[in-house]
């Protein structure tokens, strides 16, 4: 795809939509959780206020250079992910900077933020941060394995590394989705998805009840606000990839919103049903259940 200058404002528009959607999605899910627990729950716009407040705090301190850079790395991971995958299939406006090999780049970006966070949290010097980072890295690495296998599998299946072409191959009916043409890969990837959205049963990394509150223990004011911004962009960006690879993509925004919401609710439902894993349990779980399915998916294709 040729580069045009107009792509930059288009990509920023996508980013803006995704940011707002992510903020509302998080609040909406929290609201549903509250209603299930017979509470009223947070206002739907609470996340916006929290962001403004954290950006508006007057003082902030630093523990060193990496401490500064970690939130930036984290945000780069989320924003980079969203910039290089097409959000709306067939739309020139919302294809962003997708190119022939974007799938591989996306895999890198998924891991990028975690690594930056690990460096920054380690520099903050807080013991809880160190524990959180070691747990987080081992769990995310483990969760990444089935995803990588699933991605190899469908790259072999469709014989391309371009997300756009993979979406194009799934058009023309629900039965053309990867979900039905390659269910093993989708299963492996969805299991891996559970491990990276930081919801139970895989949220031991930053569960406030276990280690308050893991890697971001020392982060505050605008650092924390940057990380909050990423925490709404990154999951949506990741779900965009899942939607494109496995669930036929979306050719307009309402379908996009609906599919992302449903993919997210998958993780939420699993999370309310199952209790939290310890980190060695979750690693074992990924090795026993998710990785073999991923290998099988590659072999079958």
Partner 1 sequence: MKEELEKRIIKGPDGLEFEVEPLRDYYCEAPPTVMPAAYSKIVEDLFNWARSESIWILGFGTGCGAIEMRPLMTPRFDAYRFGVQWRPTPRQSNLFIISGYLSVKTLKRVIRSYEQMQNPKYVIGLGSCTINGGMYWDSYNTIKRLDQYLPVDLYIAGCMPRPEALLAGFADLKKLIRSGKAEGANEYAEKFEWYKANQKRVINDWDMPDYNW
Instruction: Give me the least distance between CB of 72 and partner 1, in Å please.
Output: 18
Binding residue for partner 1 (CB under 8 A) from 53, 65, 104, 108?
53
Binding residue for partner 1 (CB under 8 A) from 49, 92, 174, 300?
49
Contacting residues for 281 by C-beta, under 8 A, at least 6 apart: none
Site for partner 1 in 102-161 (CB under 8 A): none
**CB of 46 or CB of 181, closer to partner 1:** 46
* # binding residues, partner 1 (CB under 8 A): 29
Cβ atoms of 17 and 253 closer than 8 Å: yes
Instruction: Give me the least distance between CB of 231 and partner 1, in Å please.
Output: 13
Contacts with partner 1, 193-212, as mask; x by CB under 8 A = ---------------x---x
Quick one: CA dihedral 77, 78, 79, 82, positive or negative? Answer: positive
Per CB under 8 A, the segment of 78-86, 154-162, 215-223, 229-237 that binds partner 1 is: 215-223
Instruction: Give me the least distance between CB of 41 and partner 1, in Å please.
Output: 6
Q: Distance between CA atoms of 252 and 10, rounded to whole angstroms?
A: 15
Instruction: Give me the least distance between CB of 222 and partner 1, in Å please.
Output: 10
Binding residue for partner 1 (CB under 8 A) from 57, 104, 175, 262?
57
**CB of 214 or CB of 249, closer to partner 1:** 214
Question: What distances in angstroms separate CA 19 from CA 12, 93, 106, 231, 291, one per listed residue?
Answer: 10, 17, 18, 10, 32
Q: Distance between CA atoms of 285 and 10, rounded to whole angstroms?
A: 41
Going along 209-270, which residue ranges are E strands? Answer: none
Site for partner 1 in 221-250 (CB under 8 A): 221, 224
Nearest-10 crossing angle of helices 221-246, 253-273: 110
Instruction: Give me the least distance between CB of 219 and partner 1, in Å please.
Output: 7
Report if residue 254 touches partner 1, rule: CB under 8 A.
Answer: no
Site for partner 1 in 18-47 (CB under 8 A): 34, 37-43, 46
Cβ atoms of 74 and 227 closer than 8 Å: yes
Q: Distance between CA atoms of 40 and 32, rounded to whole angstroms?
A: 9
Instruction: Give me the least distance between CB of 226 and partner 1, in Å please.
Output: 13
Per CB under 8 A, the segment of 57-65, 77-85, 159-167, 238-246 that binds partner 1 is: 57-65
DSSP conformation letters of 167-204: HHHT-SSGGGSHHHH-HHHHHHHHHHHHHHTT-TTS-T
Map residue 60 onto helix, strand or coil: coil
Going along the chain, which residue ranges are E strands? Answer: none
Site for partner 1 in 60-79 (CB under 8 A): 60-61
Residue 61 CB neighbour total at 10 angstroms = 9
Six-digit token string for 184? 């093993």
Point out which residues bind partner 1 (CB under 8 A): 34, 37-43, 46, 49-50, 52-53, 56-61, 208, 212-213, 216-221, 224
């Amino acid at each position: 795809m040729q580069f045009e200058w107009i792509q930059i404002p288009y990509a920023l528009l996508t980013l803006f939509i995704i940011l707002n959607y992510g903020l509302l999605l998080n609040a909406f899910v929290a609201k549903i959780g509250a209603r299930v627990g017979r509470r009223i729950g947070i206002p739907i716009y609470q996340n916006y206020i929290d962001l403004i407040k954290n950006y508006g705090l007057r003082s902030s301190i630093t523990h060193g250079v990496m401490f500064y850079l970690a939130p930036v790395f984290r945000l780069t991971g989320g924003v980079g992910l969203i910039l290089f995958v097409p959000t709306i299939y067939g739309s020139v406006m919302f294809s962003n900077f997708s190119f022939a090999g974007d799938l591989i780049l996306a895999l890198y970006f998924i891991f990028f933020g975690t690594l930056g966070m690990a460096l920054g949290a380690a520099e903050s010097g807080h013991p809880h941060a160190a524990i959180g980072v070691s747990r987080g890295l081992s769990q995310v690495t483990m969760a990444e394995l089935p995803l990588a296998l699933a991605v190899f599998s469908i790259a072999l299946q469709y014989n391309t590394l371009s997300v756009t072409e993979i979406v194009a191959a799934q058009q023309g009916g629900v039965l053309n989705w990867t979900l039905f043409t390659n269910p093993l890969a989708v299963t492996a990837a969805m299991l891996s998805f559970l491990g990276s959205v930081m919801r139970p049963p895989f949220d031991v990394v930053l569960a406030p009840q276990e280690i308050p509150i893991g890697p971001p223990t020392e982060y505050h004011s605008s650092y924390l606000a940057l990380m909050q911004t990423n925490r709404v962009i990154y999951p949506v960006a990741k779900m965009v990839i899942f939607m494109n690879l496995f669930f036929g993509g979306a050719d307009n925004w309402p379908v996009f919103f609906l599919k992302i919401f449903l993919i997210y609710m998958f993780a939420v439902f699993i999370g309310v049903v199952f209790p939290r894993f310890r980190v060695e349990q979750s690693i074992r779980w990924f090795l026993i259940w998710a990785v073999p399915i991923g290998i099988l998916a590659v072999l079958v294709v």
